[in-house]
Amino acid sequence: MNDKPMKMIEKHGENITEDEAALYDRQIRLWGLDAQKRLRASRVLVAGVCGLGAEVTKNLVLSGVKSLTLLDHRKVTQLDTFANFLAPHDSIGQNIAEASKERAQVLNPMVEVSADPGNISDKNEEYFTQFDVICLSRCQREELIRINNICHQHNILFFAGDVFGMFGYTFTDLQEHHYVEEVKERKSVKQDGKTQVMEETKMVKRVETFYPLSQALDVDWTSKKYASQLRRTSPAYFIMHVIMEFLTLHGRTPDPAQRHEDEVELLTIKNSLLEKMNVPPEKVNNQFAGIMFGQVSPVCAIVGGVLAQEIIKAVSQKDPPHNNFFFFSTLDGAGVVECIGH
């Protein structure tokens, strides 16, 4: 195989320069020039510059998107300097989006990285329509639903996710998503009077339909469809509901400084929510309340890697996407994809 960068062709809008072709040569060979050109034309918003947001930012900047905007109104805390490797240790008290911009930019000078210190709650519909991809974390449930509905209306790729201690999740809404998938087929070929089985790789076009977050959260577990599915559904789906309710009620994440009180509150919310959802309380083991504190860097790396990978797959239109949740918990020791709300 020739090791020189591939020649560029004008397609899918903005062309790729020879310098970019050299920089992205390995991934162009991996997923193709057209996929890289789609990435190169995409404008991404990452809202919530926590440990998870830093992992997503790193992977997307390195992949070669056109531009990435960091949005967060919060100040850098000591905890952030451990979980968010983009925020320098001497930046405590500064705006976290602005403090993280420089290191994000150094990762890839060919990507336009900018910081917005505003509050996402103050952003109107027009603000979000300037992006092709929106990825949210550290948002309350109603804010996630509001922005997801805007994205659904304007055909903007929507992703959300968060990490709480040893637990993390992602959600994807790509509306009606078209992509191509490599499929291997075997066929019999006669040659010199003998029949040989040959394997052939074909690119097959697929379509996947997604539904908004509001629908994925508002599920009737007494219905015939979901009552039969309940046993197979990951407890992590319900843990996500509990942490979303905690954020709504308290406007913050569980605090290690008041661990006992917050563990009791998480269990209280769990019992109330599951009763309201007509789900048996034993569906979620009470051990979950003890693992929801802080931002654990390895968990951020795992969940952030999956989330960034899904964004790259969606933008490049290659390979089947996760539809629609991904959950990771050290209680299970593995990640799981769930399709809920369809």
Element (H, E) at 145: helix 141-154
Clarify whether residues 33 and 150 are in a common domain. yes
Clarify whether residues 164 and 187 are in a common domain. no
pLDDT the model gives residue 230: 94
Clarify whether residues 148 and 250 are in a common domain. no
Residue 269 within any structural domain of the chain: yes
The stretch 17-32 carries a mean pLDDT of 74
Supply 250's token pair.
């308290």
Task: Examine the pLDDT at 13 and tell me if it is beyond 50.
Answer: no
CA distances to 5, 20, 291 from 41, in Å: 19, 13, 39
pLDDT the model gives residue 8: 31
Among residues 329, 10, 47, 280, which one has the least CA distance to residue 169?
329
Q: Assign residue 124 the CATH number of its domain.
A: 3.40.50.720
Q: What does the pLDDT look like over 244-290, one tens digit per residue?
A: 999 999 999 999 999 999 999 999 999 999 999 999 999 999 999 99
Q: What does the pLDDT look like over 107-166, one tens digit per residue?
A: 999 999 999 999 999 999 999 999 999 999 999 999 999 999 999 999 999 999 999 999
Clarify whether residues 71 and 60 are in a common domain. yes
Clarify whether residues 55 and 135 are in a common domain. yes
Burial 147-166 (b: 16+ CB within 10 A, else e): bbbbbbeeebbbbbbbbbbb
Clarify whether residues 149 and 256 are in a common domain. no
pLDDT the model gives residue 25: 74
pLDDT the model gives residue 203: 81
- Long-range CB pairs of 219-226, under 8 A, 24+ apart, other chains included: 219/277, 219/340, 219/341, 221/277, 221/278, 221/279, 222/278
Clarify whether residues 98 and 151 are in a common domain. yes
Clarify whether residues 243 and 333 are in a common domain. no
User: What total of structural domains would you count in the chain?
Assistant: 3
Task: Examine the pLDDT at 33 and tell me if it is beyond 50.
Answer: yes
Residue 9 within any structural domain of the chain: no
Q: What does the pLDDT look like over 193-241, one tens digit per residue?
A: 677 777 777 888 999 999 999 999 999 999 998 999 999 999 999 999 9
Q: What is the DSSP letter of 132?
A: S
Clarify whether residues 152 and 22 are in a common domain. yes
Residue 185 lies in domain: 177-206
Residue 5 within any structural domain of the chain: no
- Residue where the block lists tokens 């008041």: 258
Clarify whether residues 74 and 146 are in a common domain. yes
Q: What is the DSSP letter of 7?
A: P
pLDDT the model gives residue 275: 97
Categorize the per-residue pLDDT at 14 as very low, low, confident or very high, splitting at 50, 70 and 90. Answer: low
pLDDT the model gives residue 4: 37
Q: What does the pLDDT look like over 56-112, one tens digit per residue?
A: 999 999 999 999 999 999 999 988 888 899 999 999 999 999 999 999 999 999 999
Residue 8 within any structural domain of the chain: no
User: Residues 331, 323: contact at Cβ < 8 Å?
Assistant: no
Clarify whether residues 255 and 327 are in a common domain. no
pLDDT the model gives residue 1: 37
Clarify whether residues 56 and 164 are in a common domain. yes
Q: What does the pLDDT look like over 44-68, one tens digit per residue?
A: 999 999 999 999 999 999 999 999 9
Categorize the per-residue pLDDT at 330 as very low, low, confident or very high, splitting at 50, 70 and 90. Answer: confident
Last residue of a domain, one of 255, 276, 291: 291
